[in-house]
Each structure stands twice: as C-alpha cells, then as structure tokens.
C-alpha cells in the first residue's frame, strides 16, 4: 500500500531520508514538479523501471524522460551538439521544458524505446530538487497518470490510480502550471516542438 507524505507546508527531513532510501532500493515514488506530478525511479534500475511502466500501463516501446539536478548533470547522460541546444538549456532550465538530446552509449537502454535520443529536464520545484540533491542517479519521470489519461495534477486523485503500484506519494499541493512540459528537439538548426506545454514556440 502506498505511503502518503504531506509536504505542502514544509519538507520533513526524516521523511525525505525515507524517500531517498525508497528510491535507492528499486522503489517507485510519485512527486510534484512545477508542471504536473511525476512517477519516478532510479534510471539505472531495470526492476524499478519495469514497475513504473507496469503501474502506468505504458507500452515498453514508448520512451520516458529523465530529471536531473543541474546543467552540469546533462552531459553525463547526453551530448549537447549545437549552440541552439546550449541556448535552450541556458534560458529555460530549470523550468517546464524537456530537451531531446543524443544520448550517451549504454545509457537508458530500458526506457528510451530503442531510440538514440533521450529527453532531459531540470525541474523548478523545491521538493523534487531536494530529492535530486540527495541521490547520485537521475530519475525517470513520466507523468503520474495511467497511459492515455490526463496528466496528474491533484495528489488525492493520483493516489487512487497508484495506491497498490507505487511505494510513496509526496503531496506538494495542486500542480502550479498543470500542463506537462514542452518537449523540444533541435533539427537542422531549427527548434521543433514535439509536445506543447506552457512554453510556446515564439
């Protein structure tokens, strides 16, 4: 049964340590970001990744993105190959944007759908950033919803879908933006929007 943590007013340090331990031990955690809630796990744990896909009822050939703590972390998992990609990172991260980049070899084998690219985001939310500070791995972080349902923005609703398939949910209140991140990719030195979020092409 899922454990419920209420951090709407403040982050509890002891509970934060519990969340970190869950993530370090193949656990699945639902957490707030500024866009929508994410359901995540250690991006290096095949067992945990399998659990997330199963919980979401998501086809295995559909890739999911990762969350990292800082710009410096991006180059561990992906290659930044153009000035335009650098500009997007500098201007919009942290924030509600996911950038598709060429991934490093042998990373993301279990969640990138056999693509040679990976989506990376730096969230702008204190709760998830505090978690990321305390772990030494990125998190896969699809939105906390059953596939083909709307993205989760209210933790009370999300709990109903995942009460038997996730280990913990952190209540940070209703999502601030309420729209999944804008997904962008640079092709032929042009910005291509793959999913429209709060950041528009203009």
Tens-digit pLDDT profile for residues 25-50: 999 999 999 999 999 999 999 999 99
Q: SS3 for 163?
A: coil
pLDDT digits (tens, 9 = 90+) for 151-187: 999 999 999 999 999 999 999 999 999 999 999 999 9
Q: What is the pLDDT of residue 175?
A: 96
Average pLDDT over residues 131-150: 97
> What ranges in 26-125 are assigned the alpha helix state H?
46-56, 71-77, 83-92
Distance set, CA 52 to CA 15, 27, 43, 159, 171 (Å): 22, 9, 11, 14, 19
Residue 116 structural domain = 3-195
* Residue 56 is assigned to a structural domain of this protein: yes
Neighbours of 38 (CB within 10 A): 28
In a domain, 200, yes or no: no
Angle at CA of residue 74, ends 144 and 190, nearest 5°: 90
The model's pTM: 0.96
201 domain-assigned: no
Please state the rounded mean pLDDT for residues 53-69: 97
Interval 47-59: pLDDT, tens = 999 999 999 999 9
Is 202 within the bounds of a domain? no
List the CATH number of the domain containing 171: 3.90.870.10
């Amino acid at each position: 049964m899922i454990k419920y943590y209420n951090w709407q007013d403040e982050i509890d340090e002891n509970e934060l340590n519990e969340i970190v331990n869950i993530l370090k031990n193949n656990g699945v955690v639902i957490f707030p970001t500024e866009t929508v809630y994410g359901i995540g796990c250690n991006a290096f744990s095949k067992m945990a990744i399998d659990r997330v896909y199963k919980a979401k009822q998501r086809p295995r050939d559909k890739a999911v993105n990762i969350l990292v703590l800082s710009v410096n972390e991006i180059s561990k998992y992906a290659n930044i190959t153009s000035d335009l990609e650098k500009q997007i990172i500098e201007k919009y991260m942290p924030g509600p944007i996911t950038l598709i980049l060429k991934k490093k070899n042998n990373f993301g084998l279990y969640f990138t759908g056999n693509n040679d690219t990976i989506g990376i985001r730096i969230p702008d939310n204190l709760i998830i950033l505090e978690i990321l500070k305390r772990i030494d791995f990125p998190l896969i972080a699809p939105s906390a919803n059953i596939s083909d349902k709307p993205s989760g923005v209210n933790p009370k609703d999300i709990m109903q879908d995942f009460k038997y398939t996730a280990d913990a949910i952190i209540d940070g209140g209703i999502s601030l933006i309420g729209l999944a991140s804008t997904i962008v990719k640079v092709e032929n030195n042009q910005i291509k929007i793959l999913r429209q979020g709060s950041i528009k092409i203009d």
